[in-house]
Amino acid sequence: MILRICFIFFLVQIFFFSYMYYAIYEVKKQKNSLQTNRNLYYPTSNAWPLISLYYQACFRT
């Protein structure tokens, strides 16, 4: 059961990291549009606490 939960967390982390790299790529591609940069950057910065929380949940159990 614990391994299954960790596996789900691992998949979610892969999704967040891939989204983060995609957002960084988009920001580099569209530096002229400030609104697009803001919309792409803030979701990635909000994903970091979630990722660290997943790691804590996996390694404490």
Q: Where are the chain's structural domains? A: 2-60
**pLDDT reading at 61 higher than 60:** no
Q: How far apart are CA 16 and CA 27, in angstroms?
A: 16
Q: How far apart are CA 15 and CA 40, in angstroms?
A: 15
Taking the CA atoms of 7, 8, 14 and 17 in sequence, report the sign of the dihedral they define: negative
pLDDT attached to residue 7: 81
Structure tokens at 54: 């997943």
pLDDT attached to residue 49: 65
pTM: 0.37
- Please check whether residue 15 is in contact with residue 42, taking contact to mean a CB–CB distance below 8 angstroms: no
- Residue pLDDT, tens place only, 1-44: 777 877 887 888 777 777 777 766 766 666 655 555 555 555 55
How many helices (H) and strands (E) the chain has is answered by 2, 0
pLDDT attached to residue 6: 77
